[in-house]
Structure 1
């Protein structure tokens, strides 16, 4: 590797899971821009859909949790992006499992190509065994997310809240159905960021820093990883915390 390149160049991908309205999609876009990596997100799928004559509304109804239209879109990505040289022809059916298999093929293909930021699509599970991928989760308090969606999508408070809850349910249903996983499980991620206070640009900086630090651990043997690495023993026997006794 070129000694002038950052350590992050050794990493293949960043996956970003997000609560709807937490700013995760915008953070992903900014991370991709800062790293000069490709971005695979909802807008990427919409662009492919438009080339196929599929409306954004149809994508909205199916993207991330359902079937045939997006499977067709995923297959067609091969002709748009040479990196997506993956055959999903056998999965071109209207079943949700067909869509899922096509999606897995594409996510694995872009990760193999490298230097890509992938938003959602169960990518934190699809790529969980790859050490050279950084997994990030973006969250925020519900009221903060409602404010964000009101501002970004020109909805009223009630409509924004309903949209957030619906989108979160759909995403959770997909992850549960195919991976028996819950997106709130912090063990799926290297980094969980709460944008309730942390601004989006700071979140981008933290993700890029984590990417560098994880890249620096790629050559460390598996048995040397973990919180015990480089830690000395306690100087004495650790004492259990004892709550004060009730004196009343």
Structure 2
């Protein structure tokens, strides 16, 4: 079946493109379920993690937590607890992504999945991006929230995800060499972006 990994900066439409690509390819979309699976494997109730997130997240864990609590494009809640360390969290996340690739396949949003599954012939790695101002405008239009509120989320979200990838994988998440397809998703309608990703995936034999 294969795997499509999507790395999307804030406002680039990853939360919309990912599910649409998965539906077109007949694959499962994996985003919010991943932190819940990690929580289960580490023995951390997600509800407890949600309740304690603001209290326990500090330093790097603030970065990791933000991957689960920020809005588009990542979503979900990263399980937080004093017991598992950052290495355990990363290992479980990577294990789940590899199981998806080795099993039924799917579309994975975020989690540095392109770096986790690497050069597999049955994988397509996609980066959705755009200038900060155009991503800001797109997010304001989609959410209807104030420009300043969205700007704060954009800056915090970009910094969080960049920090996560730099810390765990020692590289820049926007580096084009990591991806087969890099799209300025603010320059096209999201339907066009979905078409581009689906066509590229099918060209690599991915999908049902």
The TM-score, its normalising length taken from structure 1, stands at 0.65
How many residue pairs get matched?
A: 184
Kept in 2: contact 1:65–1:173 (CA 8 A): no
Shift of 1:155: 2.4
Shift of 1:211: 1.2
- In the alignment, structure 1 segments of 5+ residues that lack a partner are 1-8, 74-91, 217-248
Q: Does 1:203 align with 2:206?
A: no
Separation in 2, partners of 1:102, 1:63: 18
Larger Rg: 1
Per-residue CA deviations over 1:124-163 (Å, capped at 9, x if unaligned) read 1001131210000001222221122223334211121111
- Label 1:106 to 1:93 Cα distance change in 2 as closer, same or farther (>3 A): farther
Aligned to 1:53: 47
Greater helix share, 1 or 2? 2
Per-residue CA deviations over 1:23-80 (Å, capped at 9, x if unaligned) read 1221001001111211111x3357777x8424389499615389xx83579xxxxxxx
Which runs of 4 or more aligned residues in structure 1 lie more than 4 Å from their structure 2 counterparts after TM superposition? Answer: 45-49
> How does 1:1-248 map onto structure 2 within 5 Å?
9=1, 12-41=2-31, 43-45=32-34, 52-54=46-48, 55=50, 58=53, 62=65, 64=67, 70-71=78-79, 93-215=83-205
Separation in 2, partners of 1:56, 1:26: 27
- In the alignment, structure 2 segments of 5+ residues that lack a partner are 40-44, 70-76
Separation in 1, partners of 2:99, 2:51: 24
Separation in 1, partners of 2:167, 2:110: 15
